[in-house]
Amino acid sequence: MPRWCLPIVVAFGLLPGFLSAQIAPTTSGSSRPGTSIPNTPAAVSSSASNGGASAPAGYILTPNDQVAVEVFGEDDLRTNGRLNPEGNLSVPLLGSIHLAGLTLPQAASKLTELYGRDYLVNPKINVVVLSYAKRRFSILGQVNRPGSIEMPDTNPGGIDLLEAVAMAGGYTRIAAPERITVRRHNASGDQIFKVNAKRFTKGSGGGFLVEPGDTITVGESIF
């Protein structure tokens, strides 16, 4: 074979693979009436890249949480915003929707039902938390810095009692860790917990969970 033919043979040998890489099939989906979105793992997992906060399992939405709503295949319907003081979020086409008191899967399910009822066919919707509403607890009595303290975003559901005491500057020299009370308000009224924090070891996981809105009172030693 003449030497000048070799580059041509090599080029043609590579051509089929080159073409198969360039002419890869593309798919697109729409959820407008009469069509449906392909239920592919890639579409469902796309929410992992939206920069949302890592909400704990079972996290319940509250007013002033900032959330993002993704409607797969419908970029014009994606939105993010804060739940207003009543716990509602303004959503394209649907208007103001009450989401406070729901977990993230429940919120997604509610929006899926509402969109599917009148607007979309087989909608795929995901809801994620972008940032949490500011959550605070109060601590009084024998701590070095009593007052209202903001909870860290990393623990939106609550923090350990010993961590709460540390955030308040620790116990005073006359504090009685075995005489701590925690007042918690809920729908059925106030609850009072008597806590002996002397039995707790920081980081052991066996302490008392302080929830947003709790008021902690550290007692004084009786001499």
- Tens-digit pLDDT profile for residues 8-50: 444 434 444 433 333 333 333 334 444 333 333 322 323 334 5
CA distance linking residue 122 with residue 31, whole number of Å:
6
Q: Is the pLDDT confidence value at 107 over 80?
A: yes
Confidence band of 53 (pLDDT split at 50, 70, 90)? low
Superfamily of domain 41-131: wza like domain (3.30.1950.10)
> Cα(85)–Cα(97) distance, rounded to whole angstroms?
13
Whether the CB-CB separation of 165 and 143 falls below 8 Å is answered with yes
CATH class of the structural domain 136-220: alpha beta
> For the segment 124-175, what is each residue's pLDDT rounded down to a tens digit?
999 999 988 888 999 999 999 999 999 887 776 789 999 999 999 999 999 9
On whether the CB atoms of residues 43 and 73 are closer than 8 A, the answer is yes
The ranges of the chain annotated as CATH 3.30.1950.10 are 41-131
Radius of gyration of the chain (CA): 28
Query: In angstroms, rounded to a whole number, what is the distance separating the alpha carbons of residues 41 and 98?
Result: 29
List where CATH 3.10.560.10 sits in the chain: 136-220
pTM over 0.75: no
d(CA 205, CA 158): 13
Q: What is the mean pLDDT of the chain?
A: 79
What per-residue confidence (pLDDT) applies to 87?
A: 93
